Each structure stands twice: as C-alpha cells, then as structure tokens.
Copies of this chain bind each other. A is one copy, B any other.
C-alpha cells in the first residue's frame, strides 16, 4: 500500500502482478497461490497473477516479469511484489528452507551449502589476486555503516574491521558478521509505460534493460571461463547502451561480504583482481566514485530472499530520484545498476539478474 500510495495510482490501475516468494511452502505451508493469498489482503484480485521463484533472485524475476509485461504492450501498469518470511521460531527450519535453493539431490546430499560455495569463491580470489580477509571485512564495515543510514535496514549498527575478523568463523575466510542474516521483508516496484508514468510523476526512472539468465552446464576441463555475472553484465551494458563508467550507484548481491569484491570486478567497476583495491581506496563508499550497496546490502539491510531483488531496485530508484535520505549520493546519480544472483546449480548461480535504470 505504501508503494501504491507513493506512485499515486489506485488499485484498479494495476493490470498484472508478478509475486516473488521463495520459501513460504517450507516455512508457513502456503504454496501454489501465494500471491493471490497476499494480494487479497489489499483487495487486489481479478488480474493475471504469476507466482515466480528463483531463489535469492526471486524479486528480480518478478521485476523482469513485469518489465516483459509492460514492454510487450500486454499491459500498462504492473506490480512486482517480493516478500519473504524466514523467521518461524525454528532456525533449522529456516536454514533447511534456504538450502532448498540448491539441487537438493546432488549438492544437497553432498552437504554442500551456499556458505561453502561463497567461501570457496573467496579463497580462490585470495589465491589468484592476493585479496585479503581484511579487505572483505572492510566491505562489511562499509555496508554496516550504510545500514545505519537506512531506516529499513535490519541492522543499524556500526562494526569495526577487528570485530568482523574476530567474529565467529563460519567458513574461512567468512565470519558470522560477513554473512547476511535470516529476516522477514517485502518490497514492491510499480512498472508502467513512459506515457502513463508522466501522468503520475515528474521524476520517472526508466528501465534501460532487465536481463535474467540461468547457470551454464559447465565443463570441468574448462575452469577458466568468464563468470556468469561478467557475461551477463556485458550483455546488459550492450542492451542498455551504457557502460560501467556511466553507472552512479550499484546494489549487488553481497550474500557474504567477499562476494562484493568479485562482483564489482564482474560488473566492470574495476579491473579483474582489483576489487580489493576498490574497497581499500574507499571508492565504493557513499562519497566515493562508485558507491556500492548504499542500502547496507544484504549483510546489513537484510536478505529476505524473495524481497531482496526488489529492495535493490527500490534503493536504486530512490537514489536516482534523490529520495535516499541520509544515505543520498550527492549529486543524485543518473544511472544505477542492480545485480541479484540466486540459487546454486552445477557450480554457478541458478539465476542471475541485472537491471540498469536511468533518469
């Protein structure tokens, strides 16, 4: 209702909804028609509702859906809702639900987990490029600082490099503070055509591109292929006619802090192997040349799975519109990028999404 209010539209204007939720089936027992059950609560029915899922990229998938529905001319006004309830008084149940975002018959039975995957990726980065645990901790410190400026963040508390490094090790080099928390949350984006948008706002944000992909079927004999996000970013920049140097703010998928370093490289914000230097030189801070995760990122803002991708979109839209309050980049950026990855199948993200927005 906040989003509909902010957009200034009525319930009756909404012609299509994509609802992203990843784990209600395993947490609350509600499967199959989750979106209809939720939208009923605000009195919204009698429109096409598609319930979508793509693990941690679920919210982005709902966004992609609505972008497709509007850009295809199927409808004029579409609502993308991402929502997740992970708290249920039983951490093992929440953890089990999160683990359903990998291939449960293969990686699952092997006992392989997201945490393990992110830790392996982080160690590989350290080995190849000399990245340090301290640089990873700096990402965490920056994002927790940003979280303090975001009233919607789950954690609004500063941390120090030493606190991050000394926190309980969960899978070296990842410590507890470098890990995104379990949390509840929801986020919404309302998408429409240029023409309709002009009726409601003088500060429209345009979608330059919305790209979604799934992981490749990799060949173990070719370990040095470019990463999925790197390839997707190239495609997104091509489609949008925008390059990494044009980007003024980025929300990216720091499910664990080290990921921010390598994803900055994948997005072309710096050269391969220089992600550690980027954080050392403070370029990704709010006052830096390319602020990253001004919302606090997944680690501090939180990571309610189905909502995450849309919360990233929301942050970028607010930054572009100059509505980001205490964490506003000055002057407001003209172009922003969202990268949202999710799931794990056969050694890569099962789903990866990039959206580029501009004003």
Contacts and interface: CB of A to CB of B under 8 A. Distances in A.
B214 A47 contact: yes
Contact of A68 (B33, B74, B342): B74
14 contacts: A25-B25, A29-B100, A31-B53, A32-B100, A32-B343, A33-B54, A33-B345, A34-B53, A37-B104, A44-B217, A46-B217, A49-B351, A50-B65, A68-B72
Nearest to A211: B48
Contacts of A65: 50, 65
Contacts of A127: none
Given A23-B31, A345-B33, A215 B45 contact: yes
A55 interface: yes
One complex includes copies of this chain to the number of 2
A72 B74 CA distance: 8
Interface residues of A, number: 62
A118 interface: no
A55 B74 contact: no
Contacts of A28: 104-105
A191 to B, nearest CB: 14
A43 to B, nearest CB: 5
A126 interface: no
Contacts of A22: 31-32
A345 B36 contact: yes
A102 B30 CA distance: 8
Interface string A9-49: 00000000000001101101111111111011001111111
A52 interface: yes
10 tightest Cβ-Cβ pairs between the two chains A and B:
A72-B72, A33-B343, A31-B100, A33-B350, A32-B101, A25-B25, A48-B212, A32-B55, A36-B350, A51-B53
Contacts of A343: 32-33, 36
Interface in A67-112: 68-69, 71-74, 97, 100-105, 108
Given A53-B32, A72-B72, A100-B32, A214 B48 contact: yes
Contact of A351 (B33, B43, B108): B33
A61 interface: yes
A346 interface: yes
A214 B17 CA distance: 10
A64 interface: yes
Contacts of A217: 40, 43-46
A61 B50 contact: yes
A180 interface: no
Given A31-B97, A52-B51, A72-B72, A214 B351 contact: no
B214 A39 contact: yes
B54 A50 contact: yes
A277 interface: no
A45 B345 CA distance: 10
